Amino acid sequence: MANAVSDSTFDQEVLQSSEPVLVDFFAEWCGPCKAMAPALDQVALEMKGKVKVVKLDVDANPGVTGKYGIRAMPTLILFKDGQVAAQHTGALVQKKRLEDWINSAV
C-alpha cells in the first residue's frame, strides 16, 4: 500500500528521496482515484526498491497541491532527484499501463 505524505512531510519523503518517487495526488471523493488505487497498490509492492509510491490528499494539503498546480484528480507526478520527471492526469486503472508509464519515465 502506498504511504501517505502531507505538506509537512513532502520535502523529506519526496524531494529528498534517493529513489524516484511517484506521487498520487488524490481526493477522497474522487471516483477515478478509487478505481486506480488497486493498480497503484500492486505497482507499489512490485516496484519496491525501484520506485517509491506515495499518496497526497489534495483537500488536506493545499500547499503542495498549489505549488504543483494540481487541478484535476487523479494526477500522478514522478519525481526524480527532487525534480518532476513525468506527469500524468487521469486514472491509469490498468496495472500494465501504469507500469509502462512509470518505466518510460524512470
Residues 5, 21, 22, 33: which is the catalytic one?
33
33 carries an active-site annotation: yes
DSSP E strands in the chain: the ranges are: 3-5, 21-26, 52-57, 75-80, 83-89
Task: Indicate the SS3 state at residue 59.
Answer: coil
User: Distance between CA 60 and CA 81 in Å, rounded?
Assistant: 25
* Side-by-side strand order, sheet with 75-80: 3-5, 52-57, 21-26, 75-80, 83-89
Q: Which of 4, 27, 30, 85 is catalytic?
A: 30
Catalytic center residues: 30, 33
